[in-house]
Structure 1
Amino acid sequence: MAGGRLVELAKSRGLLRGSIPDGGKRPVIVVNDRELRDKRAEALAALQAINDPPFLFVRGAVLTRFRTTETGAPMLEIVTEPALRGHLADAADWRRERTDARGNVRYEIVSPPRDVVEDILSQAELPFPPIRGIVEAPVFGKTGRLVTEPGYNPDAWLWYHKAPGLEVPAVPEKPSRDDVERAKALLLEDLMGDFPFVDEASRAHALCALLLPFVREMIDGPTPLHLIDKPAPGSGGSLLADAITIPATGRPAHVMTESRDEEEWRKRITSALIDAPTFVMIDNIRRRLDSSALAAALTASIWTDRTLGRNRMVLLPVRVVWLGTGNNVAASNEIARRTCWIRLDPKVDQPWRRTGFRHPDLRGWAQANRGQLIWAALVLVQAWIAAGRPQGGQTLGNFEAWARTMGGILDVIGVPGFLGNLDQFYAQADEEMAEWRAFVHRWWDAFGPVPVRVEQLWQLAVDHELIPAVLGDKGERSQRIRLGKALARMRERIIGDFRIAPMPRDGHLNQAVYCLQKVEAGERAGTDDDADAFDDDEAGDDVEVF
């Protein structure tokens, strides 16, 4: 609202008794003796006026702004009170009306008041464009339309931050077989041809991780953790991660280290998602990967948490591509079944000393040829779109939309192996279920079908050094509590030939009681390795973590 119109409005409401200085190009907002709602309305109107082209957005019901870091990387960040006060100062001239003893009115220059700032940030709805994230290469929007124009795309709700000098060749609407084969050669041979994938599935999954940012908006649902696993350092895991991320972003992934406890996992996940990166990588995993917070984030469409250092809740869209690297990574059952396995094995004693690579400086080559690599990724996705977007036949629980889309793309372009190594990964990575199987067999040998208390099962586990991951390394009381909670989660669960069945509580001691029941072969089908050891409400879709 211009300064003259503000004067007219103010006078019509009886707010002014004299003249107000003209704010020039900025509107003038008087802060005293006025309703908060009026000041808020004029402040928002002033912000809208300067938000063209847009830099203020709404993401997950939170006021967000676009900016670049000192390295030139784009990011989204939550608008804090100091930041909003600065934007309000840029958008309008703020004045306080003063009347002296003679009745003369004058106007003092003031800063945007705190009550206006807090009121705007507390609004459930704000008049700014919505945004889902930032992309740094042309990508396919939700409808399958290619986003190529730099800046904010109101149809896709994406900001395309184009790197200076990046040129991507035109993508044909109906790629030919030669186009597809050339694109496959660029990605699978030139870029990833020297990585020692142990099977077709690992190679296919690496390609899936690379293609995912370009098709992410077409997948309505979560995507799994792409785990780059290897037997020893120097096998190429970090280099493969960079090869996967450079086409989409031009640089390595946003790194998040593993955490020791759930609270720290939650904080790091929130911190990573606030910036809206394309990739989030859990690098150099050393401990057993076991986190309910991480499991929830992997299967959530929206991540809900309090911002660090404040009580304000934020709702963050989860659109990142999850990556992980480590040596012989062990994972809990809930993480293992949320994982897409990429296994490397150079089969040499000192893998870091290998030579004879196609591109000795692979990162430099990928950077120099990024436009061609982007073209190749887009051609492969466009070939699937031109074929009518056929759905793949493979599936992965909680990630059905991802599996149908990525499986369909790989089927169309002729890359085999998608989700072909799940059983092998579960058997290798899921130490938790291996421990439970050993425990259950010892339980049957010791007690058969007789009901037993948690205390007796704890003693059995301690005597035979069983289920150490469940019991933990603290005192006896802590271990009994942990075992009791674990058994409650495992109730009615079939493990091998047995079902863990809860029984009526011990009336005298009021303790939980369980027994093992033998099951028939038909009951066992599909209920052991592929089942979840945790209740669905602990790590399901759209879990709110507080």
Structure 2
Amino acid sequence: IKVFVKATKPGSRCRKAYHEGEVEIYDRDRFFTVTGERLASSTTGIEARLESLGCVYRAVFGEEEEGNGAGTPQTTPVPKPSSNGHVHLTDDKIIDLASKQRRSGAKFTSLWSGDWNAHFNSASEADSSVVFTLAFYTKDNAQIDRLFRQSGLMRPKWDELHGEQSYGEMTVAKALNKVTKQYKPKGKRKRSRPPAPPPTNPGLPSILIDDVQLSDLTDQALASMIQANTPPAVFVRAGSVSRVMRDENSVPKIETFDRVRMRCRLSEVANFFTLRKGEGGCYEQVGTNPPLSLAENVLAQTTWNLPPLAGIARAPILRHDGTICTQPGYDPPSRLMYCPDPDLKLTPIPEYPDSNEVQACVDILLDVISDFPFADEPSQANALAILFSLLMRPVITGHVPLAIVDAPMQGTGKTLLVTALGTIAVGNVSSESIPSKENDDEWRKKITSILLAASPFVLLDNIPDNTTIDSPSLAAALTTEEWSDRLLGRNNAIRLPSRVVWAATGNNLRVAGDIPRRSYSIRLDANAERPWERTGFKIKGLERHIRAKRGDLLSAALTVVRAWYTNGKPKADVPTLGSFDEWAETVGSILAFAGIDGFLGNLEQTQVVQDEDTQQWTAFFDAWWEEFNSQPVIVDYLCQRLIEDDVHGAHTARALPDALLVHLDVHGVRAGALRRSLGRHLSRLAGRIFNGHKLLNAGIDGHRKIRRWKLAGLLTPHESDNPATNPAQKGLW
């Protein structure tokens, strides 16, 4: 119910619970929504009810103390309200306030002295202006009349009668009717501050930030971080402060600190205080937030005395001494953070597995991949090498090559194979697409983002059919211990450990450049027109099976590794793979120990088949040898013959590599481009051997002053010892 009356609220309070409801009283600055429905017993007009409102107010809110209604002491005296609820000011105070108004004070002073000609056209207008001003400060008719009589505008007209009222009474009544606002003094109230609440964690170190050098604050903050870093939660990685966190899918990630994250961490390890002036002029410590400048300075340090972080492990960590860390958390020997999946239940790993236990574990692992149509025995062994590469990565200090899994067509199970093996080792497999062949800069950016995330395993999945993988950046990432790159939008370089295990899947993949010598092959061939329609699998729903049995499968693989260590780490005879010999020896020895034969047995064959660049140049130099034998030739002559052969369909032009074929034009328009391209490629390939023929620089043609090139056939051991037949001993090459 809403009741409207003419009155002024006699106190400062507005709302209070009353009996089972609530009472609210307002006399200004309020909007109400009304329905328009009126109680039948109420009047239609709004009437003056000041006394009644006062009774209601006192009944609801009680008597208020004089002053401000809350009993709060004030720094300056505040006028008391009059009987009608308005503030009462003395005559002198009203004149003083009106004269000091910023906008109208000068005008009021002039009128008050009787000088109205500069402001109005008549004295009556001046009278109204002064009375209206007085009505703002007091609503007392008698006081306004008394004040006006003291002004310079006072004259006999003020008391002249106009009907029942005098001119003065009419002027005052008009002012009080028009001027509804009332002066309110701005007395400053002294508010007492509540006592500072105690810190939530009183056991943390206390850091006072006032009047302390930033370097000293930084030392205190770092000391607090180190003290709270047990067990380790904050690390140093790639020259930055980092931490391990889990995303919404409970997948662990490495997160680099910025100033906001550092400020959050500082608030967790210490209580920060500042000084505040309290009662009686004494200072007290009150809680505050860590300054952002402090967070920035902590990050700007060059050393933090925090543990180093090499990466994240999703499986128990194998150490160099053959022990296996199964306790979640940071492992100092390996510098890895072991973050197992929440639902991983690991089968106990025997301390000293016997031969029967090892064979049972091998059978379990072979069952997982038994339904995949491996093209040969080496492909099956190489597939299991992916699993053991991931588990052995903490103890393999060198490099791990790229695993290339391909097949004649889609639906053969390439991605499923890699995903299954990767899931056993790391819980989940992150798939990436590859940039275009010509955009190695995008390769570099992708590699940097992968290494920043510290993913232990990356799958380059569903590479387009017949794609040639030829990325210098990928080749570099496979053989470098530390990757350096400049982050996007920043000038400083970042250095990251390169410990990722890489795999790629596609149909009839080809490799070129340095990739053939930095990869190994797993070939699947179902010998079926529609391989995706095959049935009769030993394990149905392989992905569900692996996730349900991951603890058993992971323990089986680690049991084989543990047995290899406890049996003295017997070494096996494995093919040589350049920069990856440590990996080949370690993984090949474990596979041989487990009775799995064929590891890298297809290495030479797959390198020849997949290295498309070498195949094309070999065919070209075979045609060269057939055409020119060991005769020295210049590039111009070669280009001329190639163009002529192309016109006549000769085999030399047909054997031209793709790198040169794009420049061949039967009309000779692109002969210059062909000559320059061939010259650059011959300089790049100088000294290499193709199918028993070595490309040599044959010196400068004495007549045309142009470089000549020739092929030299390799010698048998008997021929190489004979100076008469060995060009090297005769100083020719």
**Deviation at residue 524 of structure 1 after TM alignment:** 12
1-side partners of 2:363 and 2:558: how far apart?
14
* Cα displacement (A) at 1:349: 0.1
Q: Does 1:487 find its partner at 2:664?
A: no
Question: Whose Rg is larger?
Answer: 2
> Is 1:403 matched up with 2:593?
no
Q: Of the candidates 519, 531, 544, which is equivalent to residue 364 of structure 1?
A: 544
- What is the CA-CA distance between 1:123 and the residue it aligns to? 3.6
Q: Distance in 2 between matches of 1:96 and 1:221?
A: 52
What's 1:75 paired with? 253
1:354 aligns with 2:530: no
Q: Is the 8 A contact 2:323 2:562 kept in 1?
A: no
Given that 1:256 and 1:272 are in contact with CA atoms closer than 8 Å, whether structure 2 keeps it comes out as no
Report Cα offsets for 1:36-70 as digits up to 9, x if no partner.
Answer: 43333222223223333322112233322101122
SS in 2 for 1:337: helix
Match of 2:657 in 1: 467
Distance 1:345 1:88, change over 3 A: same
The letter for the 1-side match of 2:684 is R
Structure 1 residue 201: deviation in Å? 0.6
- 1:460, distance to aligned residue in structure 2 (A): 6.1
Equivalent position SS for 2:243: strand
Q: Deviations over 1:141-160 (max 9, x none)?
A: 12211111011122322211
Verify: 1:429 aligned to 2:606, yes or no.
no
- 1:308 and 1:198 map into 2 onto residues whose CA distance is 43
Q: What are the Cα deviations for residues 169-194 of structure 1, in whole angstroms up to 9, with x where unaligned?
A: 222222222211211111112x1110
Alignment of 1:169-318 (within 5 A): 169-189=347-367, 191-251=368-428, 253-260=429-436, 261-286=439-464, 287-318=467-498
State the distance in 2 between where 1:515 and 1:35 align.
74
- Show the counterpart of 1:530: none
The verdict on how the C-alpha distance between 1:366 and 1:472 changes in structure 2, with shifts beyond 3 A counting, is farther
Pair 1:522–1:83, CA change in 2 (3 A): farther
Partner residue, 1:40: 218
SS in 2 for 1:520: coil
Q: Which residue of 1 aligns with 2:315?
A: 137
C-alpha contact (below 8 Å) 2:205/2:224 kept by paired residues: yes
Distance 1:473 1:72 in 2: 54
Instruction: Tell me what 2:150 maps to.
Output: none
Q: Give secondary structure in 1 for the equivalent of 2:695.
A: strand
Shift of 1:21: 11
Question: C-alpha separation between the residues in 2 aligned to 1:427 and 1:299?
Answer: 21
Q: Which amino acid aligns with 1:257?
A: S
1:311, distance to aligned residue in structure 2 (A): 2.6
Any residues of structure 2 matched to 1:316-335 within 5 Å, and which? Answer: 316-335=496-515
Separation in structure 2 between the aligned mates of residue 307 and residue 106 of structure 1, nearest angstrom: 46
Q: Does 1:516 align with 2:711?
A: yes
Pairwise CA distance, 1:411: 1.6
Q: Deviations over 1:67-113 (max 9, x none)?
A: 112211112133234433332344445567899xxx99898987655
Distance 2:626 2:683 in 1: 21
Partners of 2:612 and 2:504 lie apart in 1 by 18
Could you say what secondary structure the match of 2:468 adopts?
A: coil
In structure 2, the residue matched to 1:532 is none
- 1:444-497: per-residue Cα shift (whole Å, max 9, x none)? 445554544556556666752622146778996877665544333322111123
Partner of 2:650: none
**Residues 1:491 and 1:363: Cα distance change in structure 2 (over 3 Å):** same
What is aligned with 2:122?
none
CA-CA distance at 1:220 after TM superposition: 1.8
Matched residues in 1 for 2:396 and 2:228: separation?
34
| Residue range with higher mean Cα deviation, 495-504 or 180-189 | 495-504
1:55 alignment partner, one of 204, 211, 233: 233
Measure, in 2, the Cα distance between the counterparts of 1:44 and 1:471: 63
- Helix, strand or coil: the match of 1:171? coil
Q: Which residue of 2 aligns with 1:536?
A: none
- The verdict on how the C-alpha distance between 1:348 and 1:507 changes in structure 2, with shifts beyond 3 A counting, is same
Q: 1:127: how far off?
A: 1.3
Distance 1:472 1:109 in 2: 73
TM-score of the pair, normalised by structure 1: 0.83
CA–CA distance in structure 1, aligned partners of residues 676 and 299 of structure 2:
43
Q: Which of the pair has the greater relative contact order for Cα pairs under 8 Å at 6+ separation?
A: 1
* Deviation for aligned residue 1:168: 1.8
Q: Secondary structure at the match of 2:510?
A: coil
Secondary structure of the residue aligned to 2:578 is: coil
- Residues in 2 aligned to 1:117 and 1:509: alpha-carbon distance in whole angstroms: 70
Q: CA deviation at 1:410?
A: 1.4
1:341 and 1:425 in contact (8 A); partners too: yes
Change in CA separation of 1:255 and 1:135 when aligned onto 2, cut-off 3 Å: same
Determine what percentage of the aligned residue pairs are the same residue. Answer: 37
Q: Which runs of 5+ in 1 are unaligned?
A: 1-19, 526-546
Q: Which amino acid aligns with 1:518?
A: G
Name the SS for the 1:502 alignment partner: strand
Question: Matches of 2:489 and 2:376 in 1, distance apart?
Answer: 46
SS at match of 1:399: helix
Q: Distance in 2 between matches of 1:276 and 1:435?
A: 38
Moved more, 82-91 or 422-431: 82-91
2-structure distance, mates of 1:256, 1:406: 25
- The 1:29–1:485 alpha-carbon spacing in structure 2 relative to 1, beyond 3 Å, is farther
Q: 1:499 to 1:110 in 2, by over 3 A?
A: farther
Change (3 A) 1:32 1:500: farther
Distance in 2 between the 1:485 and 1:83 partners? 52
Deviation for aligned residue 1:224: 0.9
CA distance in 1, matches of 2:206, 2:490: 32
Does 2:559 align with 1:379?
yes
SS at match of 2:511: coil
Equivalent residue number for residue 244 of structure 2: 66
Range 325-334 or range 445-454, more displaced: 445-454
Aligned to 1:541: none
1:439 to 601, 620, 626: 620
- Write the distance in 2 (CA, Å) between the matches of 1:481 and 1:206: 44
